[in-house]
Amino acid sequence: MTSRTTRAATGKGRAATPPGAELAELADLIVTAVTGCPSVAGLTQIPGAPVATYLRGRTVSGVAVRAHEVEVCVVARFGVPLPEVAAEIRQAVAPLVPDRVVDVVIADITAPEAGAEAALAPASAPALSVAGRTTTKREEAANG
């Protein structure tokens, strides 16, 4: 899922990508902001489409700081609606880059904890279809 929100430019138009140490500091601040989001399990990459900031001597994987945008690639925690994950990330990153677009790529979702799927499903939600009849988990339990 890719989601894009435009941030209004402040000051004199769009800022250029900061050089050297400033770029490294900004990338590290973004990493801290994103990984601090409760719905984010971590930063990641998509094979063949790297999202990274390349610095002298190291690479910040999962965060790409560009002249007019910041792109982050994350693993979301199971159970949180993906639009909420993206909104949470944007809210955390936007104050650091108010003059840039924040693109959020949700590359994966963590596996649910044991029993989490059943706990999240409402009792009246369809569980499965048997011979054309849809039953609920509650009906399945009552019928054995």
For residues 78 and 64, what is the distance between their CA atoms, to the nearest angstrom? 24
**Residues 58, 120 within the same domain:** no
CA angle 17, 23, 27 (to 5 degrees): 110
**Domain range for 143:** 114-144
Same domain, 91 and 136: no
Domain count, the chain: 2
Rounded distance between C-alpha atoms, residue 131 and residue 16, angstroms? 61
pLDDT tens, residue by residue, 1-19: 544 443 333 334 444 555 6
Note the pTM of the prediction, 2 decimals.
0.68
pLDDT tens for each residue of 28-51: 999 999 999 999 999 999 888 889
